[in-house]
Each structure stands twice: as C-alpha cells, then as structure tokens.
Amino acid sequence: MQQRDGYITDVSYPLHFHKEMQPVWLTHIIKTLGCTVPDLNEPYRYCELGCGPGINLLVAAATNPVGEFLGIDFNKEHISSAQKLAKELNIENIRFIEASFDEFAEQNTETFDFIVSHGTWSWLPPKAQAGILQLIYKSLKPQGLVYLHYMCYPGAARLTAMQKVLHEAAKATAGTSVQGIKNGMQLLRTLANNGAGLFIDNPEIEKELLELEKELPAYLAHEFLTDYWHPQHSADLHRIVSQTG
C-alpha cells in the first residue's frame, strides 16, 4: 500500500458521478433557499479540490461552456487521466493541476465563483483541511458557493468499527491497497459469519457490510484506508467553517 500524507496513491478513484456538484444543481438548490447565486449565463470560475480522474469536472465543463473549470489533485495518475480524457473529448474550458490542497492554497492567485470538494475532507490530515479553508477564505468571490461534502455522524458511526478492521488488515498486508481492502473485507465477512458480537448486537452493521460488498475494491480502498478517517458532526464542521471568515 502506497500513501502520501496518510492517503493511498497506488490505486485510482473510480469514475463516480455526483450530480450535486454540478453548477446547475448547486445554483438551483441555493436559489430555492432564497440566496443569491452566480449567473450561469455569464462567465464564471469553478474549482474542484480532490478532482480524482476528473469525471465530475469534465461533465460540468462540457455542459457549461461559459464557465472555466479547474481541478486539483495530488495524485499524478488522477491528473494524467483527467488531462488525457479532456483532450480526447476536446473540452477546452478545463485545466488540471497536480498539487496538495495546502500547496495550492498557498500559491493560488485566482478567484472562484464555486469551490467544491466531495468526500475528501473526512480523509485528510489537518494541514490539508487547513488548505481547503484557506482557499475558501482567500479565493472565493463574494456571493460565491462552497460545496463541502463529508462523512457525518451519527450516521457514520455504524462504519467506525469496520473501518478500523479494514485499515488494520490493509496495514498488515504486503501488496497494494486493493489487496489490503480485499483482505479486510474477507475478515469482516468471516467475523459476521461466525457470530462476532459487533454483528450480533448491531444487525444494521451487517446490512452495511452487505452493501459494501457490492462496491468496487478501489472505491472501498479510498473510502476506508486513509490514516485520517474522521467523520464529524455537522455542528462541529459548521463551527470550524464559520471561524474561517
């Protein structure tokens, strides 16, 4: 298992599309709540932190030609794949930069109407989280929109014990992150099949395991093998973000 800053780098994140990140979805929801939103008919700038192979950003750029789109990721393979796909699709209003969030926040001089990040907040070390907040404080335009997706308590509590098993199993595995997550999933299944107290006392956790077993190993590796796996209560995250400015 290869890592950088506690996060795996030896397997690419699968091409998962999240409609909630699209400009039209974001502006519609926020406008419905009575707030001012960027005008999608006028030029605007959109930055995704942790863009992975770029599928969400590529869809946004292809369907919003007046926007300028920028993806940031510290995984070289992610950036290479995203750039290749953008070239193949002839999407010109998009760029990708290989950088950590704190590096980009420190060096960036651009401003954005949208700053978005899906999932990565809950997997990051403190310095990377600080980079996200620094970028928002320094680079978000007035009345710009932030989308910050994260793993949330209390719902994520049912995953806590399983994540620990998966992480420890992967650490003990000589090989790739995918091999590690497969070993961890096999261990969880063995525990469940043999009546481990966690599953007997918490039937909902076995239901969650059944759902996880349907997912791609690469997805599970990114979800659970970070050294900084930390869901948060919404109130705590709201407090952290509000203190940013």
Q: What is the pLDDT of residues 125-157, one digit of tens each?
A: 888 999 999 999 999 999 899 999 999 999 999
The C-alpha atoms of residue 139 and residue 160 are separated, in whole angstroms, by 34
CA distance linking residue 199 with residue 173, whole number of Å: 24
Report how far residue 12's alpha carbon sits from residue 51's, in angstroms, rounded to the nearest whole number.
11
| CA-atom Rg of the chain in angstroms | 19
Alpha carbons 60 and 62: distance in angstroms, whole number? 6
**Rounded percentage of the chain residues whose pLDDT exceeds 70:** 98
Interaxial angle between packed helices 203-212 and 157-171, expressed in degrees from 0 to 180 and rounded to the nearest 10: 60
pLDDT in the model for residue 62: 97
Token code pair at residue 119: 């999932």
Reference 48, options 107, 97, 103, 109; nearest CA is 97
For the record, the structure tokens of 144 come out as: 């710009």
Q: Is 242 helix (H, G, I), strand (E, B) or coil?
A: helix
Sorted by where each begins, the domain ranges of the chain are 18-151+235-242, 157-224
pLDDT given at position 1: 63
Structure tokens at 80: 């290479």
With 0.85 as the threshold, say if the pTM is over it: yes
Q: How many CA atoms lie within 13 A of 207 on its CB side?
A: 5
d(CA 123, CA 13): 13
Percentage of the chain modeled with pLDDT above 90: 85
Of the CA atoms within 13 Å of residue 214, those in its CB half-sphere come to: 5
Secondary structure (3-state) at 95: strand
Q: For the segment 16-75, what is each residue's pLDDT rounded down to a tens digit?
A: 899 999 999 999 999 999 999 999 999 999 999 999 999 999 999 999 999 999 999 999
Look at residues 86, 77, 97, 26 and name the one whose alpha carbon lies nearest to residue 59: 86
pLDDT computed for residue 11 by the predictor:
81
The pLDDT, as a whole number, for residue 152 is: 95
Side chain identity at residue 110, one-letter code: E
d(CA 20, CA 227): 27
Q: Which tens digits make up the pLDDT trace of 169-206? A: 999 988 899 999 999 999 999 999 999 999 999 999 99
Q: Domain 18-151+235-242 - what CATH class?
A: alpha beta
